[in-house]
Structure 1
Amino acid sequence: MKIQWLGHSAFHIETAKAKILIDPFFTGNPSFREEGRKDAAAGLTHILLTHGHGDHVGDTIALARETGATVVANADLAAWLGSKGVSALEMGNTGGTIHLDGFSTTFVNALHSSAQITEDGVSHALGSANGLVLHFDDEPTLYHMGDTDIFSDMALIQELHQPEIGLVPIGDRFTMGGAVAALACQRYFKFGTVLPCHYGSFGIIDQTPDLFIAGMDGAKTKVEAPAVAALLTL
């Protein structure tokens, strides 16, 4: 499995059977390198969304039109995207699993909100915020937590799915901060590798992963905090 962090909560995941973008927030993302857009879109098969905020839906509509990639999202968000012209959609909801070519996606809880204010100034609720657990045919199980605080039912996610790779929000203010995120990883999970995200983009959230890395000190879990667009093979 090849993984690239593309800034904020956006990730590119490549396996033998799929090329996946999760929360592809490119336009307006201060951390994203625009020259990387072509590579991120090349051969794209799926776009997975944790929730409906603009810094996670991001460039989904444009990318779906350009590439024909299938978009996976909660039912309310998927219906809204359909109204915007996205045609290849797979919709689910909390607790449900969608089986795709080479992998499956399970929607799990996240403690957050999910809405967008459209051009007419109206706020539209776009379903529940979720984390996404990806089970692959021949690759490690991956859990993108989405935007969330710590919650004790993370223990059930570990029991049910046993994720080996964690993509963990650490930026504070809108999600758990680094110290709490480290507590969540150590108390509830047995990750082999974790990658922090949702930091370093906007000035009002934490700019470095230092608190998270310090909180993970002594843990058996390997912490990877790559530069934006650096390629990891896990």
Structure 2
Amino acid sequence: MQIHYLGHSAFKIVTGDAVVLFDPFLTGNPKFSGNRDAMVADVTHVLVTHGHNDHFGDTIDILKMTGATLVSTPELCGYVASVFGDAKTRGMNIGGTAKLGAISVSMVKAFHSSSYSAPDGRTIYGGMPTGLILKAEGKALYHMGDTDSFGDMALINELHRPDIGIVPIGDNFTMGPDEAALAVNRFFAFTTVIPCHYGTFGLLEQSADGFAAKVTKGRVEVMAPLSQLTV
């Protein structure tokens, strides 16, 4: 499994014949300096944790370019289908698992909010914010989306046993470095921990150093934008 960090909370995961894009905020992302079209050309699935524009991002353009399948909440899938009738979507809700060939995606809680500011000026309700767990190659990768810490993370760990955690640490809009480290240490047994949602904008924590110093379980990989990691 190859993990490519595209900046902010956007990740590209290559696993077997599946190429999965999480929260594809690329256009306007100050941490993404690559060629968007080349980066997404082979994408088979787009996974969106919630509707905020810095996560929904280029979803519709990417679906049009690639024919990929969107996996997200019913509300966001419904909105996409209303503006792009040929979109392939798999709407699901918290507690569900979608089996998609060699991969599966499970949807779990997140504590945040979710709406999309559409190009036509409408505010689109995005349903509940979520975390998404990708299972492939005998591994489980948990993208937490944007969230606070919460006690049911222990249940998520018990049910899904994620090996890889993608953890927001930026504070202000999500948990900050100290709370994120506490959540990792208390609730999970990750082998690999990847911080995200920091350093992109001025209101966010600018460094992952404090988080990395406090994580005592698992190997913290502070990925530079456009770097990749094999797990």
Q: Give the TM bin, normalised by the shorter chain.
A: over 0.9
Deviation, structure 1 residue 17: 2.1
Which residue does the alignment assign to 2:126? Answer: 126
Q: How well do the aligned residues superpose, as a CA RMSD in angstroms?
A: 1.2
Deviation, structure 1 residue 211: 1.8
User: Is 1:201–1:207's contact at 8 Å kept on the other side of the alignment?
Assistant: yes
In the aligned structure 1, how far is the partner of 2:28 from the partner of 2:120?
20
- Once the two structures are superposed, what CA deviation does each residue of 1:76-106 show, in whole Å capped at 9, x if it has no partner? 1110111120511111011111110211111
Deviation, structure 1 residue 124: 2.4
Matched, 1:223 2:214: no
In the aligned structure 1, how far is the partner of 2:120 from the partner of 2:37?
31
In the aligned structure 2, how far is the partner of 1:220 from the partner of 1:77?
35
In the aligned structure 1, how far is the partner of 2:218 from the partner of 2:59?
32
Deviation, structure 1 residue 71: 0.7
Which residue does the alignment assign to 2:72? Answer: 73
Instruction: Please tell me the residue identity of whatever aligns with 2:25.
Output: F
User: Is 1:17–1:101's contact at 8 Å kept on the other side of the alignment?
Assistant: no
In the aligned structure 1, how far is the partner of 2:206 from the partner of 2:230?
25
Instruction: Please tell me the residue identity of whatever aligns with 2:227.
Output: A
User: Is 1:195–1:223's contact at 8 Å kept on the other side of the alignment?
Assistant: yes
Matched, 1:22 2:22: yes
Gaps of 5+ in 2: none
- Once the two structures are superposed, what CA deviation does each residue of 1:27-58 show, in whole Å capped at 9, x if it has no partner? 111001133x2342131110000001110010
Which residue does the alignment assign to 1:107? Answer: 107
Instruction: Please tell me the residue identity of whatever aligns with 1:227.
Output: A
In the aligned structure 1, how far is the partner of 2:170 from the partner of 2:218?
20
User: Is 2:34–2:226's contact at 8 Å kept on the other side of the alignment?
Assistant: no
Aligned length: 230
**What SS does structure 2 have at the residue aligned with 1:141?**
strand
**What SS does structure 2 have at the residue aligned with 1:201?**
coil
- 1:38–1:122: structure 2 CA closer, same or farther, 3 Å change rule? closer
Gaps of 5+ in 1: none
Matched, 1:147 2:146: yes
User: Is 2:52–2:117's contact at 8 Å kept on the other side of the alignment?
Assistant: no
Which residue does the alignment assign to 1:179? Answer: 178
Deviation, structure 1 residue 119: 4.2
User: Is 1:8–1:199's contact at 8 Å kept on the other side of the alignment?
Assistant: yes
Instruction: Please tell me the residue identity of whatever aligns with 1:226.
Output: M
Deviation, structure 1 residue 208: 1.0
**What SS does structure 2 have at the residue aligned with 1:34?**
coil
Q: Which moved more, 1:117-126 or 1:69-78?
A: 117-126
User: Is 2:53–2:117's contact at 8 Å kept on the other side of the alignment?
Assistant: no
**What SS does structure 2 have at the residue aligned with 1:25?**
coil
In the aligned structure 1, how far is the partner of 2:4 from the partner of 2:119?
32
Which residue does the alignment assign to 1:83? Answer: 82
In the aligned structure 2, how far is the partner of 1:79 from the partner of 1:190?
35
Instruction: Please tell me the residue identity of whatever aligns with 2:118.
Output: T
Matched, 1:204 2:203: yes
Deviation, structure 1 residue 123: 2.5
Instruction: Please tell me the residue identity of whatever aligns with 2:203.
Output: I
Which residue does the alignment assign to 1:214? Answer: 213
Q: Which moved more, 1:78-87 or 1:59-68?
A: 78-87
User: Is 1:167–1:194's contact at 8 Å kept on the other side of the alignment?
Assistant: yes
